[in-house]
């Protein structure tokens, strides 16, 4: 047999055996003192081991090619007998996996929406795992389902700010659902479109319903040829994926142009809607999606105006606030999301700006009966009239993430979270000012919240671009694009800091930009200056011709 490098040391000559006695020792057994000691011992090994490791390992990731790493993970057999003890597995994860994973907790990691988390999240996640509740049904969660409804109502109140009487009525009412937990933002967006689709094509009018009779029957009964959803061209790709799964078709998620500030262009939106009703009377608009914190630019669409348009035309208004939603905790900046309270549905991700570990998607509805459109019952669980949220969630079995979010809201308070939000927004503004100040850089999209994009544009090329006639710009812009593509890769490979990259449409054409997401509380202006300095140095030393 070939000896693979990812085989544990001594594999083959192992003395570990799987038998009833060793198996019993592996299960959580509250009555057993030895089991309790083991639980504590290994938890310490994990926490202290990781802590020491993170102390030693301050960069983003260790230098090793993906190819060389992939060669370590080619053994596809499950060993017949146990290959490693838990302590060895923990050591291996800390010593062999962690160094080559990505240190998203580094304050120099400002490229994605994943960052450092407060330490108590690890403890809360441990409780979620240890209790192993399954909120799909009351019989495997009991009080956890009630607690979950309360946590959902707390976040619903943050978004919609309804009256005490509203929440008193709906918080524990079996017939009401203020929202539900799903796996992630993708499934939250999918739930929003699922509800919108089923409400539009329900059996209430006596015709075929999409959920029971299928899309073809529901559309033909109404003389509809296609459904479309409109979102700015900066919409997250999960909307297209959702439209694919829901039988709408991802090409029927129509991209609305954006204005100079990367917000949905309202005139273009109205023109598209008018054109559709004039030229395609058999097309129905399923939903308009406003973004509160676009993935690439962090921009917020003009939500109040979109709400007016949806209201006037009777269209479902969904707000994708997967990123920006938690900004509502900030007294100073919640006005940036004004209009969100008029949405029919809102997506928010706990694993983004509520700083939770992966993953915690949430979908909220203005109408507590909206989710009836996607209710499913089963004889063995989720019986009619039950308070289970599993009746309405797209996900079946799932972790009780509400325990972690509820705990986090208590520990942080709105003020605690607001400190994080304010820090991100204010530091992003300071970074934008610094980028404007430096001759080597161009700010491409200023921050609305805490995301911005920019690029390194050597002054000589920037001047040439500004002076060229439109027809002569593409090659100059392409040269600047290449510099930024190479720069981002070289900085990532150097492993000290990380900024991400995307491509935006700008007046110069398709433009490669560097994207900064500021959410780590330990990122400060000194670190951001170091990152910009490093980018200038990489350009000077490795890219300048």
Min CB(447)–ligand PLP separation in Å: 15
Min CB(517)–ligand PLP separation in Å: 10
- If one asks whether residue 236 binds ligand PLP (CB under 6 A), the answer comes out as yes
Using CB under 6 A as the binding rule, the residues of this chain from 106 to 145 that contact ligand PLP are 113
CA separation, residue 524 to residues 83, 531, 535 (Å): 45, 11, 17
By beta-carbon proximity to ligand PLP, the closer residue of 294 and 309 is 294
Mask: binding to ligand PLP, 322-341, rule CB under 6 A, as x and -?
Answer: xx------------------
CB 334 within 8 A of CB 321: no
- Which one, of 543, 402, 408, 537, lies nearest residue 486 by Cα? 543
Q: Report how far apart the first and last C-alpha atoms of the chain are (Å, whole number).
A: 52
Instruction: Give the three-state DSSP class for 61.
Output: coil
- Give the max Cα distance, the chain: 80
CB 181 within 8 A of CB 135: yes
- The token duo for 218 is 């529901």
- If one asks whether residue 298 binds ligand PLP (CB under 6 A), the answer comes out as no
Within 10 A of 119 (CB to CB), how many other CB atoms are there?
9
- Which one, of 197, 188, 266, lies nearest residue 232 by Cα? 266
By beta-carbon proximity to ligand PLP, the closer residue of 236 and 284 is 236
Min CB(323)–ligand PLP separation in Å: 5
- If one asks whether residue 301 binds ligand PLP (CB under 6 A), the answer comes out as no
Using CB under 6 A as the binding rule, the residues of this chain from 264 to 293 that contact ligand PLP are 291, 293
Query: CA angle at residue 207 from 203 to 208, to 5 degrees?
Result: 80
* Dihedral sign (CA 448, 453, 457, 462): negative
CB 427 within 8 A of CB 524: yes
By beta-carbon proximity to ligand PLP, the closer residue of 200 and 321 is 321
Min CB(234)–ligand PLP separation in Å: 9
Of 349, 350, 423, 511, the one binding ligand PLP by CB under 6 A:
349
By beta-carbon proximity to ligand PLP, the closer residue of 113 and 256 is 113
Min CB(5)–ligand PLP separation in Å: 33
CB 328 within 8 A of CB 334: yes
Mask: binding to ligand PLP, 163-202, rule CB under 6 A, as x and -?
Answer: ---------------------xxx--x-------------
Query: CA angle at residue 135 from 133 to 140, to 5 degrees?
Result: 55
Rg (CA), the chain: 26
Cα 519 from Cα 106, distance rounded (Å): 11
Min CB(452)–ligand PLP separation in Å: 15
By beta-carbon proximity to ligand PLP, the closer residue of 144 and 321 is 321
Min CB(489)–ligand PLP separation in Å: 21
Min CB(293)–ligand PLP separation in Å: 6
Of 49, 135, 361, 458, the one binding ligand PLP by CB under 6 A:
361
By beta-carbon proximity to ligand PLP, the closer residue of 108 and 323 is 323
Q: Please count the residues of this chain forming the interface with ligand PLP, following the rule CB under 6 A.
A: 15
What residue spans of 223-316 are helical by DSSP H? 237-245, 266-279, 303-313
Using CB under 6 A as the binding rule, the residues of this chain from 417 to 436 that contact ligand PLP are none
By beta-carbon proximity to ligand PLP, the closer residue of 73 and 237 is 237
Min CB(243)–ligand PLP separation in Å: 14
Of 103, 191, 242, 295, the one binding ligand PLP by CB under 6 A:
295
By beta-carbon proximity to ligand PLP, the closer residue of 170 and 236 is 236
Min CB(220)–ligand PLP separation in Å: 32
Within 10 A of 358 (CB to CB), how many other CB atoms are there?
13
By beta-carbon proximity to ligand PLP, the closer residue of 451 and 487 is 451
Of 320, 344, 388, 534, the one binding ligand PLP by CB under 6 A:
320
Cβ contacts of 462 within 8 Å, gap of 6 or more: 442, 480
Cβ contacts of 353 within 8 Å, gap of 6 or more: 323, 324, 325, 326, 327, 417, 420, 421, 424, 519
- Which one, of 89, 95, 150, lies nearest residue 400 by Cα? 150
- Which one, of 111, 83, 209, 6, lies nearest residue 519 by Cα? 111
By beta-carbon proximity to ligand PLP, the closer residue of 295 and 366 is 295
- Which one, of 125, 128, 131, lies nearest residue 47 by Cα? 125
By beta-carbon proximity to ligand PLP, the closer residue of 106 and 238 is 238
By beta-carbon proximity to ligand PLP, the closer residue of 82 and 293 is 293
Q: Which residues bind ligand PLP (CB under 6 A)?
A: 113, 184-186, 189, 236, 238, 291, 293, 295, 320, 322-323, 349, 361
């Amino acid at each position: 047999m070939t000896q693979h490098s990812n085989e544990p040391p001594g594999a083959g000559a192992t003395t570990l055996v799987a038998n009833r006695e060793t198996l019993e020792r592996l299960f959580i057994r509250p009555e057993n003192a030895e089991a309790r000691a083991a639980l504590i011992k290994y938890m310490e090994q994990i926490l202290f081991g990781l802590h020491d490791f993170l102390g030693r390992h301050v960069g983003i990731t260790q230098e090793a090619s993906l190819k060389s790493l992939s060669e370590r993970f080619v053994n596809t057999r499950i060993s017949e007998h146990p290959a490693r003890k838990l302590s060895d597995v923990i050591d291996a994860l800390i010593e062999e996996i962690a160094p080559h994973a990505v240190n998203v907790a580094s304050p120099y990691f400002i490229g994605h929406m994943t960052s450092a988390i407060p330490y108590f999240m690890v403890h809360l996640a441990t409780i979620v795992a240890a209790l192993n509740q399954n909120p799909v049904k009351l019989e495997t969660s009991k009080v956890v389902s009630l607690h979950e409804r309360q946590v959902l109502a707390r976040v619903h109140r943050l978004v919609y700010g309804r009256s005490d009487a509203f929440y008193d009525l709906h918080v524990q009412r079996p017939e009401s659902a203020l929202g539900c937990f799903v796996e992630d933002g993708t499934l939250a967006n999918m739930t929003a479109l699922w509800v919108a689709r089923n409400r539009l094509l329900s059996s209430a009018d006596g015709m075929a319903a999409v959920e029971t009779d299928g899309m073809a029957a529901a559309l033909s009964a109404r003389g509809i040829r296609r459904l479309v959803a409109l979102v700015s061209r900066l919409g997250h790709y999960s909307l297209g994926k959702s439209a694919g799964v829901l039988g709408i078709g991802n090409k029927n998620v129509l991209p609305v142009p954006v204005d100079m500030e990367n917000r949905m262009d309202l005139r273009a939106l109205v023109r598209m809607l008018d054109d559709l009703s004039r030229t395609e009377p058999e097309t129905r608009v399923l939903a308009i999606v406003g973004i509160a914190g676009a993935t690439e630019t962090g921009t917020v669409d003009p939500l109040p105006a979109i709400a007016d348009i949806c209201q006037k035309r009777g269209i479902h208004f969904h707000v994708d606030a997967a990123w920006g939603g938690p900004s509502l905790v900030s007294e100073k900046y919640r006005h940036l999301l004004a209009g969100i309270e008029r949405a029919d549905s809102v997506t928010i991700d706990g694993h983004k700006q509520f700083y939770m570990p992966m993953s915690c998607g949430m979908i909220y509805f203005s109408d507590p009966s909206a989710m009836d459109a996607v209710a499913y019952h089963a004889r063995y669980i989720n019986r009619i009239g039950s308070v289970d949220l599993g009746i309405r969630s797209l996900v079946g079995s799932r972790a009780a993430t509400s325990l972690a979010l509820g705990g986090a809201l208590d520990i942080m308070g709105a003020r605690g979270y607001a400190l994080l939000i304010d820090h991100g927004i204010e530091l992003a503004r300071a970074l934008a000012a610094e980028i404007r100040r430096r001759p080597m850089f161009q700010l491409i999209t200023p921050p609305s919240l805490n995301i911005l994009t920019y690029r390194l544009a050597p002054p000589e090329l920037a001047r040439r671009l500004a002076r060229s006639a439109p027809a002569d710009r593409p090659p100059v812009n392409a040269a600047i694009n290449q510099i930024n593509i190479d720069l981002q890769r070289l900085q990532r490979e150097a492993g000290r800091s990380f900024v991400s990259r995307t491509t935006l449409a700008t007046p110069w054409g398709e433009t490669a930009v560097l994207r900064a997401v500021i959410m780590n509380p330990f990122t400060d202006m000194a670190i951001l200056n170091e990152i910009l300095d490093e980018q200038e140095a990489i350009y000077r030393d490795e890219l300048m011709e």
